[in-house]
Amino acid sequence: MCGIAGIYSVSAAVPQAALTQLAAALHHRGPDATGYYQTARLGLVHTRLSIIDLAGGNQPLYTRDRQLCVVANGEIYNHIELRATLEARGHVFSTHSDCETILHAYREYGDDFVRHLFGMFAFALYDVARDRLLLARDRLGIKPLFIKADSAGVVFASEIKALLPAGEPARIEPDALLQYFQSNFISGARTIVAGIEKVWPGELVEVRGGRITARRRYWQLSDVEPLEISYAEAARRFDDLMATVVQQHLRADVPFGVFLSGGVDSSTLVALIRRYSDQPLHTYSVGFPGAAVNNELATARRIAEQFHTQHTELALSERELLAVLPDTIAVSGELMADYANLPTWLLARRASVDVKVVLSGEGGDEVFAGYGRYRAPRIKRLWQALQHPGSGGYRTRGLAKSVSVADLFNGSDVESIARAPFIQAWRAANPRWSNLARMQYTDIATWLADDLLVKADRMMMAHGVEGRVPFLDHRVVEFGLALPDRLKVEGRTGKIFLRRWAEQFLPKDHLWSKKKGFTVPVREWLRGERMAQLGAACRGHAAFQAMRTESLTRLIDRQSRSGDETTFVWALLQYGLWYERFMEGRTGTLHDWVGAAAT
């Protein structure tokens, strides 16, 4: 795992100082080595976290004639198979790096080359002869890539904060702010910073002469067709698929571990790793002793004992969790208020003592339909669809229970702007899919890409740990989404296929127990005198000037009285901290509140 960045200027020379500054902003993503490529108007940057070909894999990488150059972040999991195919066609490799296959695949297959790459990646490939830069991101958006284009040229980087203007405040993107307070994250191409966009998952961007000249999606999940198949046949296919996927995800020249929650996904992953690898396996679990939320440390411990892993448990207090809140915002740069950022940050810090690669079960609920919201009564969805049209009654509710986002902000059409990513995803879904498949697709296209995967990447990379997510290999995602509804949901139980399939590894009582979910006890923190102090810090704060004062006051007062606006207040706090850090460049009253709460 690494950091990449670059500048492609329309006319001016690219100063080395600008490239050095980009490298410094991404050093935490790649502390092992830094490399540069530079011409008169183009500069590429790579910061390396060494995982494969430790001795020979420094980047940039080149073809032998030095007419192609690449800087890449991520892993090409099928690099061994792809290398063999390319060598059989006469290609000569210079290293054992998995990322060198990107160069030779481009030379062999032209613009169709990305389809031959199976993995998680974001890269920049420069074609010297054609003076052409290609930026690409993996199919599911596991690895990040941001781009900023203006009259001077194009700048890109693995993280937003590398692209923030030096010495001056960034500008807030108003529509993105509405999305954030609707759903806890910002989806689609927009970011919270005006002028900075995401490269879409599965997108290829062409830049020539410092200008973006073409953008296209090389892969679309909506192309997957529903499959009528028996359980027996699906299980046979999945056996073969997971044998390939898991073994490819275990390719590394460094030790690896697993974040083990004790749920179906991470437990199944541990079982599969044990099937295909005899290397020592580290597992890591987290719990919150004394809190009212579910604690699955004992469940995870039983799985660790069954598969003889080297198991580590973190029992975290509220003060430990709150203390790292400003750090999680600083390393992310993006606006995303997932509670799980805090324990993930601390788990990654602990895991970094032992390993450089951590696998997790991220994506299992979306791919195999595990969430309870997928089983909501049809009449409820119809009612929601009437009140909030556009997404089939799905993903209609905002963060606040007592106030809508339209009540919180001035302006026309506020709700449709705030809900736009969900409406667009619902409409982009394959018309031959069931409503269940549409809900899965909507989550994969929005919440998974722009919340869960952001959390996994930023919190792990803050500690030089590469996160791998086998259930989000595009072949597994295509398989899971195509399954018939009867292999996904049965009555009030979801994830039917994966539970049945995993019975060959795990106890039935473990697999078929009610899903408890992973919850951080934030509600317990935002009560009483502490909440009163937070409310006082929020009122009149510069970050919240665009909000209607009466609506904001009502929400804060309701949280103080009943505690049922926790999700909104947490998002409010996160935005305020982000604003102080990235807009004002200082630690203000909200940072002071966190400091006091954590002591």
**Which one of the listed residues 2, 69, 99, 538 is annotated catalytic?**
2
DSSP designation for 342: H
Q: How many CA atoms lie within 13 A of 273 on its CB side?
A: 33
Return the SS3 of 135.
Answer: strand
Q: Is 264 annotated as a binding residue?
A: no
Closest to 60 measured CA to CA, from 106, 20, 100:
100
Q: For every residue of 214-231, which 3-state class applies, written as one string?
A: EEEECCCHHHCCCCCCCH
Backbone torsions φ then ψ of 507, nearest 5 degrees: -60, 140
Q: Is 50 annotated as a binding residue?
A: no
Q: Is 98 annotated as a binding residue?
A: yes
Q: Is 286 annotated as a binding residue?
A: yes
DSSP string, 227-267: ----HHHHHHHHHHHHHHHHHHHT--SS-EEEE--SSHHHH
**Chain mean position to CA 90:** 37
Q: How many CA atoms lie within 13 A of 267 on its CB side?
A: 28
Asked if residue 431 has a cis previous peptide bond (ω within 30° of 0), the answer is no
Residue 103: both structure tokens together: 């160069």
Strands 33-38 and 196-198: unpaired
List of residues 6+ apart from 334 with CB closer than 8 A: 160, 186, 191, 192, 454, 458
CB 284 within 8 A of CB 350: yes
Q: What gap in Å lies between CA 261 and CA 269, rounded to an integer? A: 11
**Chain mean position to CA 369:** 19
Q: What gap in Å lies between CA 425 and CA 423, rounded to an integer? A: 6
Q: What gap in Å lies between CA 248 and CA 473, rounded to an integer? A: 10
Known active-site residue 99: no
Closest to 132 measured CA to CA, from 204, 182, 196:
204
Which residues carry out catalysis?
A: 2
Which residues belong to the annotated binding site for ATP?
A: 286, 360-361
Which residues belong to the annotated binding site?
A: 98, 286, 360-361
Which residues belong to the annotated binding site for L-glutamine?
A: 98
